[in-house]
Structure 1
Amino acid sequence: MGVPHFLLIPYPTLGHANPLMHLSQVLATHGCKITFLNTEFHHKRANTEVAGLDNPNGHQIEFVTLPDGLDPQDDRSDHKKVIFSIKNHMHAMLPKLIQDINALHVNNNITCIVVTVNMGWALEVGHKMGIKGALLWPASASSLATCDCIPRLIDDGTIDSDGNPTRKQEIQLSPNMPMMDTANFPWCGLGKILFHHIAQEMQTIKLGDWWLCNTTYDLEPAAFTISPILLPIGPLMESDTNKSSIWQGDTTCIDWLDQQPPQSVIYVAFGSSALIDRNQFKELALGLDFLNKPFLWVVPPCNDNKANNTYPDEFHGSKGKIVGWTPQKKILNHSAIAYFISHCGWNSTIEGVCAGVPFLCWPLVKDQFVNKSYICDVWKVGVGLDKDENGLISKGEISKKVEQLVGDEGIKERSSKLKELTLNNIAEGGHSSKNLENFISWAGS
């Protein structure tokens, strides 16, 4: 068996690039050759420290770029525009890039392409060139299983042919999965064109022999009964937690945390692209003040200073620290962190579970609501924050739920047990470790 050479291609958002970067680091520590393909625009925004990333065994990740076909001033938060521009432009350029990479590595040509969702066209290119392919799904295995069930959901009348729920209801995809509100399917709210793109993408990514998931059998056992090519290889933990994100985090918050008592700080983070309503932002600010406890609050620079994020005049924030971005894994594993107010995005969910930190769940969109069900109802390591009659999570509700957590030793105990159970999967001989080794063997054969 030769040394596998992986070409990894994320869809250019942080939620896709970070887990694929973590996978690339893990593969490199297994001695694999790694080439990481970014769009030119996304690579320029990326953490420059990552670009020179050396792994402990001396292997280096090589970065290459292709243009996304958009102008510099185009709105890259318009996913419809980005998806179709990338498909139209990068698809045509990828074969030449692969040939150029192979010419530089004559004795170690690319053996496997790994993409995240929306980049399935690259699996088509690889398929035509005789290169193996796989998908790394950046969200939960349950959300992937849900998307894989689109034809079934149309056939049984749960959704219409454009992905819209036919009526308000909760369904269960498999007997042991949480109930799912049909209004929170992963594609809801994206519109007809993107729904049809997702339905088509689910067929395209079947060109990948494996659908890799940053999860474990223990966390979502029922999801693996739906799609047999799902392969849990999580939790994806990179060797250097200082480089856990494509974006550079504000490391001053570590010094600040070092000065706080153990298990005293409430960490508040809603991911890289969450937009919170102006009134809700003010209520959250006042709620953090009202708690009278130390807090670390992440307000990303892409959202900061927008009209939504206006701190109320009566907000003091004297007990807390507000930063633009953090090295989140390092923060969550700090001894000063007590609780995690989270949007329940999958990356954050896995990171919180692996740190053994109890959650206060504040889901904002789509699959985050199902993740909240796992956290609160299945694993029982967190509590949900409920909206009032005005549709806001009030400062009183935040205070009430924090006090509930403070007095709940059971949640802390379950959080510690779930951490141990989850991390055991990547220990030597663990379930995910074996899956990863089998995947690497397959890619190099």
Structure 2
Amino acid sequence: MAKGHVMVLPMPCQGHVVPLMELSHRLVDHGFQVTFVNTEVDHALVLAAMAPGGGAALRGIHLASIPDGLAGDEDRKDLNKLIDAYSRHMPGYLERLVGEMEAAGRPRVKWLVGDVNMGWSFEVAKRLGIRVASFWPASAACLAIMLKIPQLIEDGVLNDKGWPERQETLQLAPGMPPLHTSLMSWNNAGAPEGQHIIFDLVCRNNKFNDLAEMTVCNSFQEAEAGAFKLFPNILPIGPLFADGEFQKPVGNFLPEDARCLKWLDARADGSVVYVAFGSMAIFDPRQFQELAEGLELAGRPFLWVVRPDFTPGLSQAWLAEFQQRVAGTGMFVSWCSQQQVTPNPQTATLIRVT
């Protein structure tokens, strides 16, 4: 019999879905039943990308979905628009889903493990008598700088809109990486005119996080001792892996192209440049061509993840000609297993989204 029923809710972005799916597999390994809630759009992508027979490997994880509040043809790569919509519409849909599961005879949800960026869900959970654990999928240092926003405003480093008052490099605590005030994540995550949406979300989530009984982070003590000393209440549980053989589905939005692993094995150690910009980044044709030509001029083997929607309007004739020129050194895939590529001894350099 399962120890309890846990609902898991990621932010609707690939880099948030994967680590929470990995955590879900670990929860199942420890005897819990999990309901993993994606948006309807992401749910459809996950099902379509899953390898044949992948559903059987989900043992103990039930996949569910709710609307994100956007119309079917609206741009979900526009992070400002996506955040604004899901923050307003998803609370009601989540509460309805919990009621529907109970009415269908599913065990009552005892815990919500929710992405810090979905802080509104903590309020829904508390209203329904569900205990809350918040989850941060990235580095503890990144979470720490967001939790320190009130102090940074008080110290005059930021104004109350999140923009820097001073151009300087700061360090929150000994052992933590320095950060220039121009590089605050909420000021560099979307179009400038929508910055206030992301900054408001971060500030609201800081308050919602107080509703959680614990905060867990996909990092580890040895990597970020300074950040965990600054916030000793953040529990490191990373790095997360679903399984050592990489056989369990982790919620990819696109099918993984495993050919790149054999291609990597044929390259010299420490020689390959790995280029990947996640599930949200969009390049215009000029940016794509500049990066492509830079990789060609570098003369190093490279593995480049190019999603089908990565560069709308890119000349396919130009791309085909470029791929011919670099056929001996470059490989293009639409998606791959980052956890298998990055620790590979052939991988020397990463160019990726931050």
Which TM class, normalised by the smaller chain length? 0.7 to 0.9
1:238 to 239, 242, 258: 242
* Alignment partner of 1:281 is 2:297: no
Which residue is 2:212 aligned to? 208
| 8 Å CA contact retained: 1:136, 1:211 | yes
2:347 to 338, 341, 354: 338
Q: How does 1:337-376 map to 2 (within 5 A)?
A: 337-343=346-352, 345=353, 368=354
1:115 alignment partner, SS class = strand
Q: In structure 2, how many angstroms separate the alpha carbons of the residues matched to 1:151 and 1:21?
A: 32
Q: In structure 2, how many angstroms separate the alpha carbons of the residues matched to 1:312 and 1:64?
A: 40
Gaps of 5+ in 2: 189-193
Count of matched residue positions in the alignment of Structure 1 and Structure 2: 341
Deviations along 1:65-97, one digit per CA (max 9) or x if unpaired, are 111221101111222322232232221132231
2:109 alignment partner, SS class = coil
Q: How many angstroms does 1:232 deviate by?
A: 0.5
Q: In structure 1, how many angstroms separate the alpha carbons of the residues matched to 2:72 and 2:5?
A: 32
Which residue is 1:302 aligned to? 309
Considering Cα pairs closer than 8 Å and 6+ residues apart, tell me whether 1 or 2 has the greater RCO. 2
- Corresponding letter in the other structure for 1:63: L
| 8 Å CA contact retained: 2:288, 2:311 | no
* Alignment partner of 1:324 is 2:324: no
| 8 Å CA contact retained: 2:137, 2:217 | yes
Q: Report the CA distance shift for 1:277/1:86 in structure 2 as closer, same or farther (over 3 A).
A: closer
| 8 Å CA contact retained: 1:285, 1:311 | no
| 8 Å CA contact retained: 1:31, 1:59 | no
Q: In structure 2, how many angstroms separate the alpha carbons of the residues matched to 1:76 and 1:282?
A: 24
Identity among equivalent positions (%) equals 35
Q: How does 1:151-300 map to 2 (within 5 A)?
A: 151-189=150-188, 191-239=195-243, 240-242=245-247, 243-247=249-253, 248-260=255-267, 264-276=271-283, 278-300=285-307
Deviations along 1:317-374, one digit per CA (max 9) or x if unpaired, are 1222111111222233445x2313222x5xxxxxxxxxxxxxxxxxxxxxx3xxxxxx
Q: In structure 2, how many angstroms separate the alpha carbons of the residues matched to 1:158 and 1:288?
A: 38
Which residue is 2:37 aligned to? 37
Deviates more, 1:322-331 or 1:304-313: 304-313
Q: Report the CA distance shift for 1:64/1:290 in structure 2 as closer, same or farther (over 3 A).
A: same
Q: In structure 2, how many angstroms separate the alpha carbons of the residues matched to 1:67 and 1:155?
A: 38
Deviations along 1:223-255, one digit per CA (max 9) or x if unpaired, are 123333211000001115143452311223234
Q: In structure 2, how many angstroms separate the alpha carbons of the residues matched to 1:83 and 1:162?
A: 17
| 8 Å CA contact retained: 1:288, 1:317 | no
| 8 Å CA contact retained: 1:244, 1:327 | no
Which residue is 1:136 aligned to? 135
Q: How many angstroms does 1:296 deviate by?
A: 1.9
- Corresponding letter in the other structure for 1:130: G
Q: How does 1:395-414 map to 2 (within 5 A)?
A: none
Q: How does 1:376-395 map to 2 (within 5 A)?
A: none
Q: In structure 1, how many angstroms separate the alpha carbons of the residues matched to 2:264 and 2:301?
A: 9
Which residue is 2:191 aligned to? none
Which residue is 1:61 aligned to? 61
| 8 Å CA contact retained: 1:282, 1:312 | no
- Corresponding letter in the other structure for 2:350: I
CA-based RMSD of the aligned residues comes to 2.7
Q: How many angstroms does 1:273 deviate by?
A: 2.6
Q: If the length of structure 2 is used for normalisation, what is the TM-score?
A: 0.86
| 8 Å CA contact retained: 1:244, 1:329 | no
Q: In structure 1, how many angstroms separate the alpha carbons of the residues matched to 2:33 and 2:26?
A: 11
Q: Report the CA distance shift for 1:196/1:308 in structure 2 as closer, same or farther (over 3 A).
A: farther
2:100 alignment partner, SS class = helix
Q: Report the CA distance shift for 1:175/1:86 in structure 2 as closer, same or farther (over 3 A).
A: same
Which residue is 1:414 aligned to? none
Q: How many angstroms does 1:127 deviate by?
A: 0.6
Gaps of 5+ in 1: 346-367, 369-445
Q: In structure 1, how many angstroms separate the alpha carbons of the residues matched to 2:18 and 2:8?
A: 12
